[in-house]
Amino acid sequence: MAFDECLSSLDNQDPGKGIALIVVEPDQILMNSPKLEIELELFLSCLINAATEWGEKIDLGEWWDRPALPFHMILVGTQKQLDAVSSKWRNAKSNLTIDGLTLIQT
């Protein structure tokens, strides 16, 4: 199953009041990618699509109906790791932005 499919099919679990994707050692994301810009844009697109999908209420009168739910990505790492991620994502010149990114220093 692809990453985007995993994010969109989390409703197989009980999503409770929202989804939190916690990434430990975020500097390792696409670390050795030869096509960083392209792959990072795909990665961020998956996250944005998941946030959009989870943020929409489903009210069709079916068993799978659910309220709109927040989707959060939390990066956990040392200040050095978080700085590396921030730099890598900025340098990739992605035209995508993620609002509400939470960085937690360990």
Predicted TM-score of the model (pTM) = 0.74
What does pLDDT average to over the chain? 80
Question: For residue 52, is it within any domain?
Answer: yes
Does residue 98 surpass a pLDDT of 70? no
State percent of the chain over pLDDT 70.
83
Q: What is the rounded CA–CA span in Å between residue 19 and residue 50?
A: 10
Q: φ, ψ for residue 77 (rounded to 5)?
A: 180, 180
The domain of 54 spans 19-58+65-105
Question: For residue 7, is it within any domain?
Answer: no
Does residue 105 surpass a pLDDT of 60? no
Q: What is the rounded CA–CA span in Å between residue 30 and residue 46?
A: 14
| Strand ranges in 1-106 using DSSP code E only, listed in sequence order | 19-24, 71-77, 102-105
Whether residue 59 contacts residue 65, with contact meaning beta carbons closer than 8 Å, is answered with yes
Question: For residue 43, is it within any domain?
Answer: yes
Q: What are 58-97's pLDDT values in tens digits?
A: 999 998 889 999 988 888 888 888 888 877 777 665 555 5
Question: For residue 3, is it within any domain?
Answer: no
Question: For residue 51, is it within any domain?
Answer: yes
Cβ-based neighbour number of residue 40 at 10 Å: 20
Whether residue 40 contacts residue 89, with contact meaning beta carbons closer than 8 Å, is answered with yes
Tally of domains within the chain? 1
